[in-house]
Amino acid sequence: MPRPPRVYKTPAIVLRQRRLGDADKIVTLYTANHGKLDAVAKGVRRVKSRLAGHVEPLNHGSFLLAHGRNLDIITQAQTIESFQPLRNDLDRLSRALYAAELLDRSTEERAENFALYRLLLDTLRRLAQRDDLDLVLRFFEMSLLGQLGYRPELGQCVVCGRPLEAEENAWAPGASGVVCPRCQPGETALRPLSLNAFKLLRLLQGGRFQEVARVRIAPELGSELERHLRDAIHHALDRDVRSAAFLDMVRRKPRARPANAIRSAGPR
């Protein structure tokens, strides 16, 4: 069996970074070819570093890496897309950081999945270009749940298995699906599920953003969708996404300053 090359090249999205020693950083990448991986960016904390601007969180770039003893080393990097609109707008930035952290927390290292790489890339592009930011996030959340094997059951009741009708169903976050009216008595931890939310969850699960993007969602309905999908994510991951609190804070408060410094905006 041939040995893998010592140096390899891959497109990747920077999920996050953290300090290593006085001059280096560990950069978490989600790559097109190798899944998620940590790599060392040497000297990027120095003023004259050529790598520094290419390994910022949310950057989409081309990376040349060399296998190291413990962690691989980023030897070269070239930015493909910096998504500048995300960095200039806290509303966009908070949602992009949430999407990146959600993918980071829900995936294992070196588990190749091109579909997840593409999903995050498409989501960052939409967040940079569109105005229906929360709809973009709901589509990302539903698609991610499906890719990870936690696809919510929206076709049949999770208790009795009967086909679901357009009626007063309920959301069961612990079972990642919907409970029909006949099975709701005696069930605990159910959330009310409006008919419009039920229809939109099904539409989101259909997998085509072009169709979802035609829908205009009232704020109350948008909040309901967010609650249901966050419940599903929390039960699937069994952990909280810390940047969700940052997103909620940004949404509650009027914009007091421009979001031009990504390193100070999101959770560390």
Question: For 238-252, how does the pLDDT look when each residue is reduced to its tens digit (9 = 90+)?
Answer: 888 999 999 999 998
Give span(s): CATH 1.20.1440.120, the chain: 84-152+185-254
Instruction: Tell me the average pLDDT across 181-196.
Output: 93
Q: Mind listing the pLDDT tens digit for each residue in 17-33? A: 999 999 999 999 999 99
**Rounded distance, CA 225 to CA 132, Å?**
14
Instruction: Tell me the average pLDDT across 223-232.
Output: 96
Asked if 265 contacts 94 with a C-beta cutoff of 8 angstroms, the reply is yes
Give span(s): CATH 2.40.50.140, the chain: 7-81
pLDDT of 186 > 90? The answer is no
The pLDDT value given to residue 255:
59
Asked if 165 contacts 159 with a C-beta cutoff of 8 angstroms, the reply is no
SS3 category, 185: coil
Q: Record the pTM.
A: 0.92
What angle (nearest 5°) sits at the alpha carbon of residue 126, between those of residues 120 and 131? Answer: 140
State the greatest distance between any 2 C-alpha atoms of the chain, in Å, as a whole number.
Answer: 67
Asked if 169 contacts 180 with a C-beta cutoff of 8 angstroms, the reply is yes
Query: Looking at the domain covering 7-81, what would its CATH class be?
Result: mainly beta
| Confidence label for 1 from pLDDT (cuts 50, 70 and 90) | very low
Start-to-end C-alpha separation, the chain: 41
Mean pLDDT of the chain: 93
Q: Mind listing the pLDDT tens digit for each residue in 134-145? A: 999 999 999 999
CATH number of the 84-152+185-254 domain:
1.20.1440.120
SS3 category, 10: strand
Instruction: Tell me the average pLDDT across 46-73.
Output: 96
The pLDDT value given to residue 168:
93
Instruction: Tell me the average pLDDT across 101-119.
Output: 97
